[in-house]
Amino acid sequence: MNDQTSSIQFFRQIFGGAWVTQAIFASAELGIADLLASGPLGINELAERTGTNSSALYRLLRALASAGVFAEDLDGRFTLTPLAALLRSDADSSQRAFSIMMGAEFYQTWGELLYSVQSGSPGFNKRYGMPFFQYMLEHSERHALYDEAMNGVHGAETEPMLDAYDFSAFRTVVDVGGGNGQALCTLLNRHPAIQGTLFDLPGVAERARQFILHSPAAPRCEIRKGDFFAAVPAGADAYVLRHVIHDWQDEQAEVILQNCREAMHSQSRILVVEHVIPQGNAPSFGKWLDLMMLLVGGQERSEEEYRRLFSQAGLKLMRVIPTTAEVSILEGMRL
């Protein structure tokens, strides 16, 4: 294969990624992996259970099987593969909700990338007529799906975060924008002396309550409702913001950090958990995630950009602590 042929194959493979994304989305929306959880099924039964055209569904699953998502056996029945098993709703670190979100709202938004690059404005707003988080608030079923999707994506980061940073010196921790509470409960289960507070918008906090009530950490976990653009609970030893700051441009991110600073005492620490964009041309998932954030009005940042943002909010970035996941912990304190 000559260099030109190899280059053409590269572009075909890259462009085909969009097709695979939509195929996975379709199978996730139809719940194919859940239907196959108890064993192989033929295409006619799958089509009947999903209300689809059997010929078209076969073509979908045949294509996915060629990518290792599902497999067709010698009897023409489809089965789960390790990849397909992650599309089950009940799988540990399930990717079903994330697959649906990536194939629905976010996929449509990627079609506005050129607009975002030309204008600097969020493509999501153009496509859906409102900012991303307003859309989530007005579509509660999508917000719940988004929370589930983020858990599937970021859940694997929790243990590496706790391994990389010693929380044992703290007695009180506030998880700002803590989502469903899983990360905070994992932290509290590892450190029985810590009292935790989950702080999020009312609708999110109510959904988190159901998860927290079933956790051994529930007696040590308070749920507080509010808006981090207004204020956050005061007086804690540590404030954790995981994948919060990257949702916003500098002006809004600075307000969030300033409100945390106002709530902190002189020895408090702020712990921002995010991708930190490396310098140079090396491959980085964060660089691609940054384009996703461009589309929804947020931004991934380099260490220097975080250092400047912290300073503008009256905080000092003390150190950047890598983890075995793709995120780092940016530790700060009051100036």
Instruction: Give yes or no for a contact between 258 and 230, defined as CB atoms under 8 angstroms apart.
Output: no
Measured CA to CA, the distance from residue 221 to residue 195 in angstroms comes to 6
Measured CA to CA, the distance from residue 278 to residue 287 in angstroms comes to 9
Backbone angles phi, psi at 222, to 5 degrees: -95, 145
Please name which of 201, 335, 185 lies closest in space to residue 268, comparing C-alpha atoms: 335
Active-site residue identified among 154, 191, 243, 246: 246
The single-letter code of the amino acid at 9 is Q
Parallel, antiparallel or unpaired: strands 269-274 and 238-242: parallel
Residue 143 appears among annotated catalytic residues: no
Instruction: Give yes or no for a contact between 156 and 128, defined as CB atoms under 8 angstroms apart.
Output: no
Measured CA to CA, the distance from residue 293 to residue 226 in angstroms comes to 24
Strand order in the sheet with 195-200: 221-225, 195-200, 172-176, 238-242, 269-274, 328-334, 315-322
Residue 217 DSSP class: T
Measured CA to CA, the distance from residue 243 to residue 329 in angstroms comes to 11
Residue showing tokens 């030309």: 118
Give the CA count within 13 Å in the CB-facing half-sphere of 245. Answer: 30
Measured CA to CA, the distance from residue 130 to residue 215 in angstroms comes to 36
The catalytic site residues sit at 246
